[in-house]
């Protein structure tokens, strides 16, 4: 097994883990949001802004599943702009920043940022912490790009078995 300059083995290279995670997570979010809770455990915490902008947090796989499903992501077109990851405490991976855009059926585009802490486990990683926030000053104007242009810019991902926690390839 190869060792990287940062001391991690190549199978747990934070960039490789982060990229594999981002591909899998957002693909499942887009195609099977009812399966997304499987990336979490009962000790995970997920935080999302309420209608008033105040963050609310939920724990447990059931609480996380309920929260994700209540947000109606299936009604949005998702575009990932950036994803960065670095090694963290005790072999964890912090996907420190994922930025992207969600476009609703009303053609209003909202920019978001999302932060994850991916904790190691025997068969890969699980999401321990997840914070999502819309970026202030997001556009309230309808987008001018056609759906075909947006699709061309979207990240291409392939779905894996979301019943298993993900592993870096």
Domain boundaries, the chain: 10-153
Q: Would the pTM count as exceeding 0.85?
A: no
CATH number for region 10-153: 3.10.450.50
Whole-number pLDDT of residue 6: 43
Q: What single string gives the DSSP state of each residue in the chain? A: --B-TTS-BGGG-HHHHHHHHHHHHHHHHHH-GGGGGGGEEEEEEEEEE-TTS-EEEEESHHHHHHHHHHTTGGGSEEEEEEEEEEE-GGG-EEEEEEEEEEE-TT-BEEEEEEEEEEEEETTEEEEEEEEEEEPTT---SBP-S-HHHHHHHSPP-----TTS-----
How, if at all, do strands 40-49 and 124-134 pair? parallel
pLDDT tens by residue, the chain, 169 residues: 333 344 445 456 888 888 899 999 999 998 999 999 999 999 999 999 988 889 999 999 999 999 999 988 888 999 999 999 988 877 777 666 899 999 999 999 999 999 999 988 888 889 999 999 999 764 555 555 555 554 544 444 433 444 444 444 4
The answer to whether 132 and 48 are in contact (CB under 8 A) is yes
Whole-number pLDDT of residue 162: 42
Whole-number pLDDT of residue 29: 93
Whole-number pLDDT of residue 53: 87
């Amino acid at each position: 097994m190869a060792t990287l300059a940062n001391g991690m083995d190549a199978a747990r290279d934070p960039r490789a883990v982060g990229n594999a995670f981002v591909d899998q997570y957002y693909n499942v979010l887009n195609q099977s949001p009812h399966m997304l809770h499987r990336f979490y455990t009962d000790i995970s915490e997920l935080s999302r802004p309420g209608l008033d902008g105040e963050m609310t947090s939920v724990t447990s796989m059931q609480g996380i599943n309920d929260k994700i499903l209540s947000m109606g992501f299936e009604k949005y077109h998702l575009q990932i702009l950036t994803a960065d990851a670095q090694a963290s405490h005790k072999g964890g991976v912090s996907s420190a920043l994922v930025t992207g855009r969600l476009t609703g059926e009303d053609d209003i585009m909202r920019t978001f940022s999302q932060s994850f802490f991916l904790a190691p486990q025997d068969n890969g990683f699980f999401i321990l912490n997840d914070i999502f926030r819309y970026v202030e000053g997001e556009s309230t104007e309808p987008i001018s790009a056609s759906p075909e242009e947006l699709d061309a810019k979207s990240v291409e991902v392939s779905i894996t078995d979301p019943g298993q926690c993900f592993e870096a390839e």
